[in-house]
Structure 1
Amino acid sequence: MKRFFLILVLNLFALQVFCQMPKYWIVLKDKETKNYDYKKHLSQRAIEKRQLMKIDLVQYSDIPLTEDYLNKMAEKGVEAVNQSKWLNAISAEITDEQKNWLLKQDFVKEVIPIQRRVTALANYNGYVEDDERPENASYSTAISQMEAQLMKKEGLTGEGIVIGVIDAGYYGLTKNRNLKHLLKDERILGTRDFVDPSREDLFNNMVTYSDDHGNTVVEHIAGIRSKGPQYGFAIDASFYLTRSEKGDTETRAEEDYWISAMEWLDSLGVRIINTSLGYAIGFDDPKQNYKLKEMDGNTAVITKAAQIATEEKGLLLVVSAGNEGNDSNWQIVSAPADAKGVLSVGAVGPTGLKAGYSSIGPDFLPYLKPNVSCFSLMGTSFSAPVITGFAACLLQSKPEATGEEIKEIIEMSGSLYPNGNNFLGYGVPKASKALKILEGKKLEAAINKRMATGKDEYTVKASEKDVEEAIVFHKQKQHYVTQQELVKGTKGKFKVVKPAGVTESTFVCGDEVLEIIW
């Protein structure tokens, strides 16, 4: 009887899913700009943020949608699920008849299908209790590699910086001992569930399997134990937490909730947004999968919104690159990590090589993706937050900086800069470099080259004689890696062998980076 009931429930659920109307973005042609008052739409913190960064207080993308257009659509039964001022669009579930009517209206620019699935980008099997974690957990390893002690020495802890998080849920956060300092100091400024606006408690009730994902994300930004390692850089930052993913469905897109969350966070004066959600493949209906060529920084609506956030609003948007590195059908970054202006973050493993799961940048983009990487054993969901905390510390030191300026500083502080590649971006950011850049000091960025023209192997003599391992990235193009390997050396000497078709190889040994031209 129980088995029959389960089958019946599943069949009813399937019937409900497949009977749902398709969902679209309805993009409008213009807005009513008269009588717009920015003070009614931006918080005082948001106004002060823009004044500090010298960003326009009046922006077209902030103006609300034209009420007359909304009323006309409502008369035809087209009701907005969500609205986006930035995109001048609404999302709605509509019939074919309504779609045809919309396409004939002068005020409608285009109608775009958005039935995509958003997924939490993590190789993660649930929340792990504090006392079950080893002392040298992945978080402390990551911030140690990025020279956390130098940030502490400078008193940079993210204090005064407001961070927004867009994720799947925050179940267990109030019981997480690594985040008790945020609650004690009232640094959780607000929460909002864009999937279910009536839901006010995001901490104590689990609705879907992924509801604790954001809890761990926040821990990687600001987590600290009273006895033990520190997990995140920004232990004194403040937070707004939002939920945009409905984790128990695989067919309904949540793009519009994500965009609404980002616009809300910007209106509150948030400086940095972390998101570990991405759109790529794996939808229940294969027809809804993105195509590889659509990760071009211009196609996905969520990518367009992310670009507005970075270009117009001064936000630093830190995005997980994705966990499809081992998927031969995909491998590349997912949206919105393909947006030019966002800081896309990959992951490295214990040896410093790209973690196998970490998504790579496509060869058709005119810019580098991912931008940087750092250590994570559990997916790029938990490398991006570490970078977010790092960025908050830099912003604390230079609060007038825009998101783009902080992004550039982080890139320039990377362990591979300027020898970036599509596996790790510019590598692991280093506090020692970033702090010097903040002080206005110029760093030497010359590429150290060795010519090995006509040879199939090249011996590198490292400056340190006692090192026994080095990393090599073999490339077909300046930034495009075809193979990575860990090479063994003796007394600081390493033999690098040229694979077929390779034109350049980047040799990395500690802080030493060498470009071999074959």
Structure 2
Amino acid sequence: MKHFYVFFLLLGTSVMFSQEDAWVYFNAKPNAQSELATPSELLSPRALTRRTNQNIALDFNDAQVEKTYVAQVKASSGITVLSQSKWLNALHIQGSEASVLALKNLSFVDKVVFANKELNSTSKKTKTNISAKVKNKLETKIDYAYGNSANQIQMLNGHVLHQQNYTGVGKVIAVLDAGFPGVNTAQPFQRLRDNNQILGGYDYVDRNTNFYTGGSHGTLVLSTMGGYEENALVGTAPDASYYLFRTEIDVTEEPLEESLWVEAAEKADSLGVDIITTSLGYFQQRDNADYNYSYSDMNGTTTFVSRGAEIAFSKGIIVVASAGNEGRQTEPHIGAPADAVSVIAVGSVMANKSRSAFSSIGPSFDNRIKPDVMAQGTAAVVSDIAGNITTANGTSFSCPIMAGMIACLWQAFPTKTNQEIRQMILQSSDNYATPNNEFGYGIPNFGATLGIDSFSDLENEALTVYPNPVKSEVSFLFSNKNNTASIVIYSVLGQKVIEKQITSQNALLSLESLKSGLYFYTFDADGLHQTGKIIKQ
């Protein structure tokens, strides 16, 4: 099949290369004002709540692309529309160079940008020859193993969050990848299926709702967060919920993939997701070298995908991306969207916390610290599409391992903004004081974000909350030296529902007024702060 594919490419070269990928940007959204006046038609209730909780107003890029503009571009001779983005007010199109340039004559077109940068300038540059077209962003070495996933969690002190019952409950993660075959059948995903934690998804490559297809890379990625098989694999966020979006064209490397990524991110935003995790990257090794980026493009603002990722963050979403697997290459720097300013770019370390040689390095071209943080990406424990527990190498896996822990952390601090959560992660990292181009800020300590550095700290807790689950009254038992304390109870949406002062002698709090369900609490006393969850029966 591979030889047939190459033969087909040779036959079709003259046809394919006559078609250019480009983005056409519009200069207006005539109906923006009226659309923004009815936000419920643009965003789900969960998305609107996320915006409200973080004081983020709807703006111009939340409005839809003008349909009449799209129709006129589609009707233009020689043009095919492949994707659209409301955030960037643009269409991804294909056509001959002349057909694409002709679109500039339309009054509503702001600019046209070719994926082949040489076509955006009158001066032609010498093409860079790539000796081997390797899809390094999906580089995965599989070795069957019988171990378990303890180290990749404990390295981040993530087991402390889990022991405190922060396992991702109430958080929603969107996974943007190459496909998810086996997630609907393999045993390690049974728990996700039984608990209805897979909320949906979409295949943007084939434009259908069957996202359990495509490359297996996304399956492995998801397993590091949501997989569950006792004594073999426990994901970092086993109780989070997930949307699965296929944006990657598994057999080729095309500019369209960036546009599909942004399209999926916009959908994720509208659905109200909290976190986007993406183990994809765009730099060199394109199938057509004309579409390769250079290091100077890794500045957070040049690539379509990085600009989309930055907008996603501006909407209150945390975006986590693989740093890349180019550490051994002549050009070892991070790719896009890891180069975006607010994206948490994750590099890879081995089980002993030393850097994986393949892990891409920083800084970004504009000299910002990248990668941001590190997690285990060498011999990461994953599930394949058949349910076999295996190990795999790549920042493709350090990224979702990190994303899952971020979901648990955000569950513990539900009123924090995405910017505050991001900063907490960086500040907890072991290289925060002296960040560098190989480790960034280092390996985060998620236990430390709760003021807990080890199991021994848990054993000597100064606060006990019981019973939990609770039917009517819950007790907050704490040391006599802390005479008074403030308790605040929040809903899963971050809304304050109870606030009360208690004393160590009268530590009862009535939850009679609350409906059954999951709630979060913050406890503050002199020298003692703790957060947690309470289940009201």
Q: What does 1:116-127 correspond to in 2, within 5 Å? A: 119=135, 121-125=137-141
Task: Give the corresponding residue for 1:275.
Answer: 278
Q: What does 1:210-359 correspond to in 2, within 5 Å? A: 211-226=215-230, 228-251=231-254, 253-311=256-314, 313-328=315-330, 330-359=331-360
Task: Give the corresponding residue for 1:157.
Answer: 167
Task: Give the corresponding residue for 2:69.
Answer: 69
Is the aligned partner of 1:412 residue 2:433?
no
Aligned residues of 2:82 and 2:256 also touching (Cα < 8 A): no
What does the per-residue CA deviation read over 1:468-518, in whole Å, with 9 as the maximum and x for residues that have no partner?
A: xxxxxxxxxxxxxxxxxxxxxxxxxxxxxxxxxxxxxxxxxxxxxxxxxxx
**C-alpha spacing 1:65/1:274, structure 2 compared with 1 (3 Å):** same
TM-score by length of 1: 0.76
Q: Secondary structure at the match of 1:266?
A: helix
Task: Give the corresponding residue for 2:23.
Answer: 25
Task: Give the corresponding residue for 2:513.
Answer: none
Aligned residues of 2:157 and 2:445 also touching (Cα < 8 A): yes
Count residues with an aligned counterpart. Answer: 417
Aligned residues of 1:118 and 1:278 also touching (Cα < 8 A): no
**C-alpha spacing 1:31/1:410, structure 2 compared with 1 (3 Å):** same
Q: What does 1:97-108 correspond to in 2, within 5 Å? A: 97-108=98-109
**C-alpha RMSD of matched pairs (Å):** 2.3
Q: Distance in 1 between matches of 2:27 and 2:242?
A: 35
Q: Which amino acid aligns with 1:134?
A: Y
Q: Which amino acid aligns with 2:327?
A: G
Q: Secondary structure at the match of 2:234?
A: coil
Task: Give the corresponding residue for 1:92.
Answer: 93
Q: Which amino acid aligns with 2:292?
A: N
Q: Which amino acid aligns with 1:190?
A: G
Shift of 1:197: 1.1
Of 359-368 and 414-423, more deviation after overlay is shown by 359-368
**C-alpha spacing 1:164/1:7, structure 2 compared with 1 (3 Å):** closer
Aligned residues of 1:118 and 1:253 also touching (Cα < 8 A): no
Q: Distance in 1 between matches of 2:246 and 2:159?
A: 33
Shift of 1:422: 1.3
**C-alpha spacing 1:145/1:23, structure 2 compared with 1 (3 Å):** same
Q: What does 1:40-189 correspond to in 2, within 5 Å? A: 40-56=41-57, 58-77=58-77, 78-114=79-115, 119=135, 121-125=137-141, 132-136=144-148, 139-189=149-199
Aligned residues of 2:158 and 2:447 also touching (Cα < 8 A): no
Q: Secondary structure at the match of 2:70?
A: helix
Where in structure 2 are there 5+ consecutive unaligned residues?
Answer: 118-132, 379-392, 453-537
Task: Give the corresponding residue for 2:478.
Answer: none
**C-alpha spacing 1:188/1:327, structure 2 compared with 1 (3 Å):** same
Q: Distance in 2 between matches of 1:261 and 1:334?
A: 19
Shift of 1:201: 2.9
Where in structure 1 are there 5+ consecutive unaligned residues?
Answer: 438-518
What does the per-residue CA deviation read over 1:100-136, in whole Å, with 9 as the maximum and x for residues that have no partner?
A: 212233322221223699957343146x7xxx43224
Q: Distance in 1 between matches of 2:234 and 2:52?
A: 33
Aligned residues of 2:200 and 2:242 also touching (Cα < 8 A): yes
Of 171-180 and 376-385, more deviation after overlay is shown by 171-180
Q: Distance in 2 between matches of 1:87 and 1:304?
A: 8
Q: Distance in 1 between matches of 2:94 and 2:332?
A: 32
Q: Which amino acid aligns with 1:258?
A: W
Task: Give the corresponding residue for 2:498.
Answer: none
Aligned residues of 2:299 and 2:364 also touching (Cα < 8 A): no
Q: Distance in 2 between matches of 1:361 and 1:146?
A: 22
Task: Give the corresponding residue for 2:130.
Answer: none
Q: Distance in 1 between matches of 2:339 and 2:113?
A: 19
**C-alpha spacing 1:123/1:248, structure 2 compared with 1 (3 Å):** closer
What does the per-residue CA deviation read over 1:293-314, in whole Å, with 9 as the maximum and x for residues that have no partner?
A: 1101111111111111112x01
Q: Distance in 1 between matches of 2:409 and 2:352?
A: 27
Aligned residues of 1:120 and 1:277 also touching (Cα < 8 A): no
Task: Give the corresponding residue for 2:368.
Answer: 367
Q: Distance in 1 between matches of 2:156 and 2:253?
A: 36
Q: Secondary structure at the match of 1:406?
A: helix
Task: Give the corresponding residue for 2:516.
Answer: none
Q: Secondary structure at the match of 2:72?
A: helix
Q: Which amino acid aligns with 1:124?
A: T
What does the per-residue CA deviation read over 1:84-110, in whole Å, with 9 as the maximum and x for residues that have no partner?
A: 000000111122222221223332222
**C-alpha spacing 1:35/1:13, structure 2 compared with 1 (3 Å):** same
Shift of 1:184: 0.7
Task: Give the corresponding residue for 1:16.
Answer: 12
What does the per-residue CA deviation read over 1:350-405, in whole Å, with 9 as the maximum and x for residues that have no partner?
A: 33221100000136434211100011211000000011011001111122322222
What does the per-residue CA deviation read over 1:203-256, in whole Å, with 9 as the maximum and x for residues that have no partner?
A: 3x5x4xxx1111111111122222x14432211000000000111124554111
Q: Which amino acid aligns with 1:322?
A: G
TM-score by length of 2: 0.73
Aligned residues of 2:252 and 2:287 also touching (Cα < 8 A): no
**C-alpha spacing 1:18/1:40, structure 2 compared with 1 (3 Å):** farther
**C-alpha spacing 1:363/1:171, structure 2 compared with 1 (3 Å):** closer
Task: Give the corresponding residue for 2:206.
Answer: 196
